[in-house]
Amino acid sequence: METEQLKYVIEAALLAAGRPMTVDQLQNLFAARGQPARQDIRAAIVELQNDYTDRGISVVEVASGFRIQIRTTMTDWLEKLWEERPPRYSRALLETMAIIAYRQPVTRGEIEDIRGVAVSTNIMRTLQERNWARVVGHRDVPGKPAMFGTTKEFLDYFGLKKLDDLPPLSEFKDLDNLNIQLDLPAPEDTEAVGPGAPQPLVRASSTDDEPQPPAEITSIEVARAAASEESDAATTDDDHQEKPATVVPLKTS
């Protein structure tokens, strides 16, 4: 098959599938007509990427394969096409997901140590139902607690090919930048923990009915140190009382 025809077939397949496709899956489309070599398929994908350089769509590689997606520069023009509002999640859920992503494999107890509060069962259930997190093993300690890690669906949702593509934690030391990414409350609403002391990811409240104030996020390691200075009694997160945050998938422009 000519390279130009191969490129058109791959383009049509990626559009029709509506999901990422691997090189093997694309190769299997030609089973009855002579399969092209894997390198020929990759070469055709590269040509497609070059064709889309100055267009509103692009071919990107994520954890589950290649897909065609709109560029982030097109979002403002196309947002009216999406009638449904994007999913909104509590700050506690997003913090828990971030700890799993950056510290995996990690147990629920270790997440609680880092955040300084108990992690509600609803948060862990939501992450697993969305297939963003899964049990990857059990810690070899008394009780054999489950260890959690991320999934391919998590990487696909945020437009990542592998975990190494996650932005370094140093980029999130500036709360203003973090607010832009996650639509979190403004920093002036934060409450200082002590003179010159950083705040934990979420401070433990004395009662379940008391809302938790937003806190400055510096890094997970600093949060772990600050959380150890908090009271020994941890409070379970209340998803319904926290200000939700909008998750905006990361996309390659």
Residue ranges, CATH 1.10.10.10, the chain:
3-74, 88-246
Does residue 61 carry a pLDDT above 70?
Answer: yes
Q: Taking residues 236-244, what's their average pLDDT?
A: 46
The contacts of residue 33 (CB under 8 Å, 6+ apart) are 1
pLDDT computed for residue 86 by the predictor: 66
CATH of segment(s) 3-74: 1.10.10.10
**Euclidean distance between CA atoms 227 and 123, whole angstroms:** 20
pLDDT computed for residue 5 by the predictor: 87
Q: Taking residues 100-110, what's their average pLDDT?
A: 93
Most confidently modeled range among 79-83, 111-115, 205-209: 111-115
**Euclidean distance between CA atoms 122 and 49, whole angstroms:** 41
Q: Taking residues 5-24, what's their average pLDDT?
A: 91
**Rounded percentage of the chain residues whose pLDDT exceeds 90:** 39
Q: What is the pLDDT of residues 202-215, one digit of tens each?
A: 333 333 333 444 43
pLDDT computed for residue 233 by the predictor: 40
pLDDT computed for residue 227 by the predictor: 45
**Residue range 88-246 in CATH 1.10.10.10:** yes
Does residue 147 carry a pLDDT above 90?
Answer: yes
Task: Quickly list DSSP for 103-120.
Answer: H-SEEHHHHHHHHSSBPP
Whose tokens are 């422009």? That residue is 253
Q: What is the pLDDT of residues 168-201, one digit of tens each?
A: 876 665 444 444 444 444 433 333 334 343 343 4
pLDDT computed for residue 196 by the predictor: 40
pLDDT computed for residue 126 by the predictor: 92
